Structure 1
Amino acid sequence: MLKREFTEEQTLFRGAYRKFLQQEIVPYMEHWREQGIVGREAFLKAGKLGFLMTWPDEQYGGMGDNDFRFEQIIIEENQYALTGDWGATTHSRLVGPYLSRFGNEEQKQRFLPKCVAGESILAIAMTEPDAGSDLAGMRATAIDQGDHYLLNGNKIYISNGINADVIIVAAKTDPSNNPRNIGLFIVERNFEGFTHGPMLKKMGQKGQDTAELFFQDVIVPKSNVLGDDAKGLSYLMEGLAEERLISASSSLAAAQKAFDITLNFTRDRKLFKKSLADFQNTQFKLADLRAELDMQQTYLDQCVKALNHNALSAVDAAKVKLLSSELQCRVVDEGVQLHGGAGYMDEYPISRMFTDARVTRIYAGTSEVMKLIVARDMYKDETLPFIDRDLP
């Protein structure tokens, strides 16, 4: 594979983060999976060592370096260590930047230092039972009451939903006259009227706490509104390209790990007194996957470079998210098949990786929505009745 581009500082960062995972996360991961939630001490330990939210300026406790490759390293090392269902990146790079992009100075001073330190855990609440990829279809409302907003509604499938201390909630602010007016509201754990349901039981990624959140007449002070209360949809669109790059980075790193596990297994597994790796069928299947993995890694790294130069388009983000998640599912499926009966047993990592992978074709925008975004760009000068122009 072609040499990848990381700075010397980032290479040292990778080594330090890998050591941190082996010492502080890996030994407890199985227990956390059984509980369905990662212990809060994981965030505190990561924050203390500078592994959460590296991008905020030093005045807020960060490194002041917005290079996405730092988070890419964190994502990759989590997948290689089989700790990918820890919600650190959701906190650090998916939710945290909303505070920086759209928050005022008072909000940054109030929230960022505790988030960098791991004392406050972040979540974002967009998805509703009837509004997933179609964000404009949400029903939650936040009505201006003069000195505060009154928030009502519920959100579902929220990552970090139990652990979160600070949740950015998307809600309509003028549902009668302009239903596309959406605001982003900072809801804190102790707000009266805010509750969460029990942890949702999932097919995979069991260490990531996921919950449904309920908001009943929650009073949100004006000081907890991010930016313009009518521009939330555009704010969400602005963050979606990076969210999809995060998803793609995770998918591809997991696929790389699954490939390595499977390759090693085929060398050891015996069939008809021969190694499984000696059969041409095995070699050809893995050769196809190896070529695809290397090609997609090159494209993904180019997308990272584009993001670092503020040039990653929504279409390119959709492409890399689509291809990486689909490839991940093919790799883990082939991995289970080549493991034989062992692949169906949870004691083998490939079994867990198979169930963890399935949701990646759904979250951050389904594969079908990614295809629509690419198709819309292909036919942007034409009228296509099957394409919803309001899709993100």
Structure 2
Amino acid sequence: MLDIRRVRENPEEVAVALKKKGYDFDIESFKSLDAKRKQADVESQNLQAEKKKASKQVGMLIKEGLSPEEAKKKALSGIDDKLEASVAQAKEIQQQIQDLLLSIPNIPDSEVPEGSDEEDNVEVRTWGDPKAFDFEVKDHVDVGQAIGGLDFELAAKITGSRFAVMRGDIARLHRALTQFMLNTHIDDHGYTETYVPYMVNADSLRGTGQLPKFEEDLFKIPFNDSCYYLIPTAEVPVTNIARDEILDANELPVKMACHTPCFRSEAGSYGRDTRGMIRQHQFEKVELVQMVKPEDSDQALEELTGHAEKILQALELPYRLVTLCGGDLGFSAAKTYDIEVWLPGQQKFREISSCSNFRDYQARRMQARWRNPETNKPELLHTINGSGLAVGRTLVAVLENYQQEDGRVAIPKALQPYIGNKEYIG
């Protein structure tokens, strides 16, 4: 959520900055609403003063012979009702402002390039060279089905479209990737392994920015008189660990790694990537989350992105890093790097991780703070997160990049200890 003071003091500047994301901020509507809030506050204060003044007359009227009830009625006649109505109006307007702020995306960093969609993203660097195959390459669906461990028809029977059943060596390879990622981030990069619920409440989703705007993308589960939501990413429960907390400076940076399933309705994406495991309703990720002092967040984004890259480098999978343009930037993000792995079956790079700096946008929603020892006052944290990596898409990349002409799949050396030292599956 944006700082209301910044919006009030520089609405034109905010509007120009949000244009980069393709968001039209209605300055006049905001100014009108804020003026109504100010007027309602003034009216409430005036009525409070009037009530205080009138209350002093109650004692005088009692001395003149009126009962306490008669004195209050005469002195405060109509003021309480007016004050109650005025306070209710002020609260209603304040809620309208709060709802407006919740609907406004984060302001993009000045370094974010202009652009309307993914075609305008800017390549930062590449790593590795796509392998030259001397046979006709297959995509992961054909590779996995030939091995016998990837079944989409069975998943459709059990549940529906956009799910997968994995068995045998492919299921084991999927698990191996998860373990390899967790161990690397914990042992080599200093993250604390964290386990969280796979369902969250609405407050948690508001905290990280999924609600209220993206409710249609979520799986909602009614429960008693309330509801839970299946998590779209571990970012939600892990980041909300700091909601309504004040951390000591010596606790920072907080670095957490978390493996969870992720559940997304993929609303509006039908017709896109319907084949295989690229875009599913259920998939798994190893998520990296950092919470840092404001002055450290730019460097933390670079560090976290590098940690995600190390996984692909260890697996010897070619990839490229791009900076997202304004039009492709997420709602809550100020700056995002996408890591895109090379998929021979598609002959293109596809996203396997998004690493974002949210600055204080999520922290303001969550009231996630740290105590600055120089002032002894609480200040908002900066939050950073990214996939380290999406497990299913990494499996796709391994199946396609390591496929052999005879139908087997070679196992990357870094993964072999996690899969019984096998060199091939299939």
* TM-score, normalization by structure 1: 0.25
Structure whose alpha-carbon radius of gyration is higher: 2
By percentage of residues, which structure has more helix? 1
By percentage of residues, which structure has more strand? 2
* TM-score, normalization by structure 2: 0.23
Higher relative contact order (CA 8 A, sep 6+): 2
